[in-house]
Amino acid sequence: MMDQVTAAGETALVAGGAGFLGSHLCDALLARGASVICLDNLLTGSADNVAHLQNHSRFRFLQHDICQPLKISGKLDVVFNLACAASPPRYQADPFHTMMTSVAGTLNLLQLAEAHEARFLQASTSEVYGDPDRHPQSEDYNGNVNCTGPRACYDEGKRAAEALCFDMLRANRADVRVARIFNTYGPRMDPEDGRIVSNLVVQALRGEPMTIYGTGEQTRSFCYVSDLIAGLIALVDVAGNPGVPVNVGNPGEFTINELAELVVAKTGTKSAVVFQPLPKDDPTRRKPDISRAKALLGWEPRVPLREGLDTTITHFRKIVAAQNRSGAS
């Protein structure tokens, strides 16, 4: 059963709305007839991601860092918190800001939702499971996170954000829902932000060495962006608060070597693979158990990696071709 806060007449605030996932969420909400306030400090996102929306009558962009409190005039029906750098090199570049974004930033947005009696959706992450010693990962697994390592600013920040969310819910101060997002890919990933799918595809298209960290036998489960956005909307719209976090991801599990082979086959690149050191605390395996999302939301992903990669490669081909033209001129 649905109790929609994303339909026509509703107003959504999307923090992190100029990022990869946030910009797709803005598109989806506008397509459903909602009004959208996109809030972003443009740290890892880009105004280009929402440039096509600038003249949309139901779209508004506000440049703001969520670490600072904020007030919004007029009604708000739902607040989505996607604001946080998500790529390891980017979130480790300023670990203090990353942690404060998840802690102070999430609290600021929760208080905003409370003030407006708006529903709240937190973009949490599979990183709350750390380097998991249970496989696949279901939501009742408490994780294996190194709280002193270089990934802690992100992992522990997101865990603290979940704690804030569930305290807010227990106190009946806001209708809070938490999605634990697993690796998601697709058009509008930043080609330079260092994540695996964008790195391999862009390197292949540029004819540069394809970098694999460690042996490449570590696994990830890759969800296509349209599936992920449908999952977030289903979670925020479902009637009755689930009261528990919900994994949103694609259970198809691939080694990084298998992903590289797919990219080579699909792009026809002559690039060679080069092996580089594995970053500290890099998770060995990751695969979501999505039984809860299926049962509570009737949601499951539809786009297999082979298909989603085609669309992603087409997107990056255009970017690389434009870069080649501007470099050549």
Q: What gap in Å lies between CA 40 and CA 24, rounded to an integer?
A: 14
Give the DSSP letter string of 195-232: -HHHHHHHHHHHTPPEEEETTS--EEE-EEHHHHHHHH
Among 30, 62, 67, 264, binds ligand NAD (CB under 6 A): 67
- Candidate segments 112-120, 213-221, 304-312, 313-321, binder of ligand UDP by CB under 6 A: 213-221
If contact means CB under 5 to 8 A according to the sort of partner, which of ligand UDP, ligand NAD, none does residue 65 touch? ligand NAD
| Assigned token pair, 86 | 């998500």
Enclosing H/E stretch for 124: strand 119-125
Q: What gap in Å lies between CA 50 and CA 188, rounded to an integer?
A: 10
Q: Which of residues 70-129 bind ligand NAD (CB under 6 A)?
A: 82-86, 101, 105, 123, 125
- Candidate segments 68-76, 96-104, 191-199, 263-271, binder of ligand UDP by CB under 6 A: 191-199
Q: How far is the CB of 246 from ligand NAD (least distance, A)?
A: 13
- Asked if 42 touches ligand NAD (CB under 6 A), the answer is yes
Residue 18: how many other CB atoms lie within 10 Å: 29
- For residue 277, the one-letter residue type is P
Assess contact for 266 and 309: CB atoms under 8 A: yes
Annotation marks residue 141 as catalytic: no
Enclosing H/E stretch for 159: helix 152-170
Q: How far is the CB of 305 from ligand UDP (least distance, A)?
A: 14
If contact means CB under 5 to 8 A according to the sort of partner, which of ligand NAD, ligand UDP, none does residue 88 touch? ligand UDP
- Asked if 195 touches ligand UDP (CB under 6 A), the answer is yes
- Candidate segments 25-33, 52-60, 211-219, 222-230, binder of ligand UDP by CB under 6 A: 211-219
Q: Which among 155, 282, 287, 135 is positioned nearest to 220, based on CA atoms?
A: 287
- Asked if 197 touches ligand NAD (CB under 6 A), the answer is no
Enclosing H/E stretch for 55: none
Give the DSSP letter string of 246-268: EEES---EEEHHHHHHHHHHHHT
Nearest 5 degrees, angle CA 166-CA 171-CA 175?
A: 60
- Candidate segments 6-14, 66-74, 132-140, 207-215, binder of ligand UDP by CB under 6 A: 207-215
If contact means CB under 5 to 8 A according to the sort of partner, which of ligand UDP, ligand NAD, none does residue 107 touch? none
Among 88, 132, 136, 187, binds ligand UDP (CB under 6 A): 88
| Assigned token pair, 185 | 């890919």
Assess contact for 101 and 81: CB atoms under 8 A: no
Catalytic residue among 91, 129, 141, 154: 154
Q: What gap in Å lies between CA 155 and CA 161, rounded to an integer?
A: 10
Among 26, 29, 43, 305, binds ligand NAD (CB under 6 A): 43
Which residue numbers are catalytic?
154
Task: Report the interface residues with ligand UDP, using CB under 6 A.
Answer: 87-88, 183, 195-196, 199, 211-213, 218, 220, 256, 279, 282
Give the binding site for ligand NAD (CB under 6 A). 15-16, 18-22, 40-45, 65-67, 82-86, 101, 105, 123, 125, 181, 183-184
